């Protein structure tokens, strides 16, 4: 069975570099269990998977808050409540 580990987190670095600040990152595990991550909307020279342990130490990244992935049922409900214009008609 393929590795299904996938978490999305808000991460933060106090660095004054253009890449610092509050960002969203996707975390995965390699087949040997190594934690890697991808930061959303990175500049081209910083795109790609990185080792969390290495980068968090070197660039001062910390995990702030996990963003929960929706369940299949939540996706089905959202699709069911979608109107023709793309807005969600379920205001719950």
Structure tokens belonging to residue 30: 């390699």
- Of the pLDDT bands very low, low, confident and very high (cuts 50, 70, 90), residue 81 is confident
Number of CB atoms found within 10 A of residue 77's CB: 15
Query: Helix-strand-coil percent breakdown of the chain, rounded to 5?
Result: 20, 35, 45
Q: What pLDDT does 73 receive?
A: 93
What CA–CA distances, in Å, run from 48 to 34, 38, 70? Answer: 15, 6, 24
Contact status, residue 53 vs residue 35, Cβ threshold 8 Å = yes
* Rounded CA separation 53/2 (Å): 23
pTM recorded for the entire structure: 0.75
Per residue in 38-79, pLDDT tens?
A: 999 888 999 999 999 999 999 999 999 999 989 999 999 999
* Rounded CA separation 48/38 (Å): 6
* Confidence check: pLDDT of 1 > 50: no
Query: In the chain, what percentage of residues exceed pLDDT 90?
Result: 68
């Amino acid at each position: 069975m393929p590795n299904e580990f996938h978490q999305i987190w808000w991460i933060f670095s106090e660095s004054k570099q253009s890449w610092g600040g509050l960002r969203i990152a996707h975390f995965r595990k390699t087949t040997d269990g190594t934690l890697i991550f991808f930061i959303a909307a990175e500049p081209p020279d910083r795109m790609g998977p990185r080792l969390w342990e290495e980068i968090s130490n070197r660039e001062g990244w910390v995990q702030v808050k996990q963003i929960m992935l929706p369940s299949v049922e939540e996706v089905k409900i959202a699709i069911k409540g979608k109107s023709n214009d793309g807005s969600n008609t379920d205001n719950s």
